[in-house]
Copies of this chain bind each other. A is one copy, B any other.
Amino acid sequence: MKNTFGTSVAVTLFGESHGPWIGAVIDGLAPGLPVDEAFIASQLTLRRPADRTGTARREADDFRIVSGVFEGHTTGTPLTILIPNADTRSGDYLRGPARPGHADYAAFTKYHGFEDYRGGGHFSGRITAALVAAGAVAVSALKAKGILIGTHVARCAGIDDAPFSANLSGDLEKLNSLPFAVLDEAKGARMREAVENAAARGDSVGGVLETAVLGLPAGVGEPWFDTVESVLSHALFSVPAVKGIEFGDGFALADMTGSEANDPFRMKEGRPYTTTNRNGGINGGITNGMPLVFRCAVKPTPSIALAQQTVNPLTGEETELKISGRHDPAIVHRARVVVDSVTALALCDLLALRYGTDWLADSRP
């Protein structure tokens, strides 16, 4: 549905990079969920560029909840969050050559030149701020039900982070407090250095995000078409720059034999579990109670300062483009909290479909 995702819990996204406000509406949340504005703000901080690894555009993200919250709790009716765009410099942008790797040309074709081209308009990564604000409510609600989400920069500029440890819940807690989310700080330092080097060259780098979700009940997912993989990938491919997704061992499974890829079942405390988790907590599109694990490939930021060959779709002229303005030499570390947010929203939808609208608030006194 274009800019609305979900059926039972649905999020609608709007706004442009250089418009007055961007925002999101979440509909279908259980009534009675506590809404923690400080947590929303902290999630927005994780998305915000912090140093030389991010764009020089600085937005305070001074969000405002204008509906759906009353006396500190969700009402159960649409929750709307607005975020102002304050630090816009539209003069940096002119309708002109299509930026390679960006939506510019495709959007020009689709919207016949009526799209707001300034700063990427509706297709700007800026809009993810609204997703993060909306997602923060979902992340909180899931946490209150014992469902914990966390993502690390598993790879950046060719450098691998350490893998998740045996203490997965400790890993997720730690990651959620870090501005540059890695499990091995030394690896993280090397990644940041590589990002800064790319920036110095006028270039950019990409990476891989690895996400784990703990505490999901078994039996969630609606095959054939609304499998956990289908619903999550649908949501995650809306995050700009994501070009690949794999669940569990993903592409590596293609090279295994069945005897390697099948996760054996054993019993622990009266419940089945698997001794390995190569299928990422999903069998047949349905959760099996093991941690949900997936990875997203994030391409390098397309806005670079180096000269690029391109065309002007208005005039049809071939030209060379050097993008000025303020840009990120990498977004993989900022995209981390966007992935968490989108994951939380999609899981809230699947859980509400299975267990009913009120389930998320069942611990309500």
Contacts and interface: CB of A to CB of B under 8 A. Distances in A.
A291 interface: no
B235 A225 contact: yes
Nearest to A241: B253
A31 B247 CA distance: 28
Contact of A10 (B4, B28, B103): B4
B311 A267 contact: yes
Interface stretch (A41-49, A54-62, A179-187, A348-356): A348-356
Given A100-B263, A204-B258, A219-B110, A237 B243 contact: no
B254 A208 contact: yes
A254 B122 contact: no
A16 interface: yes
Interface string A1-25: 1111101101011111001111101
A107 to B, nearest CB: 6
Contact of A67 (B122, B221, B300, B306): B122
Interface stretch (A132-140, A141-149, A162-170, A278-286): A278-286
Contacts of A354: 356-358
A309 to B, nearest CB: 4
Given A106-B219, A240-B284, 11 more contacts: A15-B80, A16-B68, A104-B284, A106-B221, A198-B257, A204-B258, A244-B253, A259-B304, A264-B310, A267-B316, A267-B318
